[in-house]
A and B are shown apart, each in its own frame.
Chain A
Amino acid sequence: MALFPLQALFEGDLVVLLVPVDDGDPMTVVADKVAHHVVDHRVAARDRPLRSGTTGGRCPTTPRW
Chain B
Amino acid sequence: MKVGDVDFGALISSIQTDEARHSQQGEPTIKLLVEHGRKDVAQQLVDHMFWRSWRLFALLTGLSMDYYTPLEHRGHSFKEFMREWICKQFLDQFRDFGLEKPWYWDEHFLPELDWYHHALQLGIWYWRPTVWWNPDAGVAPEERDWLEEKYPGWHDNFGGHWDVIATNLREGRPEATLPETFPMICNLCHVPVVAPAGYRAGKLASPLPRVLDRDGRRYVFCSAPCQWVFEQAPRRFQGHTTIIDRFLGGQIQPPTMEGALAYMGLSPEEMGRDATDYAWAHAAPRDRTATHG
Contacts and interface: CB of A to CB of B under 8 A. Distances in A.
Tell me if chain B binds chain A. Answer: yes
Interface of A: 5, 7, 9, 12-20, 36-37, 40-44, 55
Interface stretch (B28-36, B72-80, B119-127, B268-276): B119-127
Contacts of A41: 126, 164-165, 168, 176-177
A42 B122 contact: yes
B151 to A, nearest CB: 15
Contact of B200 (A14, A17, A36): A14
20 contacts: A5-B248, A7-B220, A9-B196, A14-B122, A14-B123, A14-B194, A15-B184, A15-B194, A15-B197, A16-B195, A17-B181, A17-B184, A18-B181, A40-B164, A41-B165, A42-B161, A43-B161, A44-B160, A44-B163, A55-B208
Contacts of B207: 9
Say whether chain B's binding surface is mostly helix, strand, loop, or mixed.
Answer: helix
Contacts of A12: 200
Contacts of A7: 184, 209, 220
Interface string B148-173: 00000000001011011100100000
Interface in B191-238: 192-197, 200, 207-209, 220
Contacts of B220: 7
Nearest to B182: A18
B184 A18 contact: yes
A18 B220 CA distance: 12
Interface string B237-260: 000000010011000000000000
Contact of B180 (A37, A42, A43, A55): A37
Contacts of A20: 181
Interface residues of B, number: 33
A14 B161 contact: yes
B183 interface: yes
B97 to A, nearest CB: 38
Nearest to B157: A14
Given A37-B181, A42-B126, A15 B119 contact: yes
A40 B248 CA distance: 27
Contact of B192 (A15, A36, A37): A15
Contact of B196 (A14, A18, A55): A14
Contacts of B126: 41-42
Contacts of A13: 196
A40 B183 contact: no
B193 A15 contact: yes
A58 B201 CA distance: 22
A44 B196 CA distance: 16
B156 to A, nearest CB: 12
Given A5-B248, A7-B209, A9-B207, A17 B164 contact: no
> Which of A13, A15, A36 counts the most chain B CB atoms within 10 A?
A15
Given A18-B247, A43-B160, 16 more contacts: A7-B184, A12-B200, A13-B196, A14-B119, A16-B183, A16-B192, A16-B196, A16-B208, A16-B209, A18-B248, A37-B179, A37-B181, A41-B164, A41-B165, A42-B122, A44-B164
A10 to B, nearest CB: 8
Contact of A15 (B123, B163, B168, B244): B123
A14 B207 CA distance: 9
B184 A40 contact: no
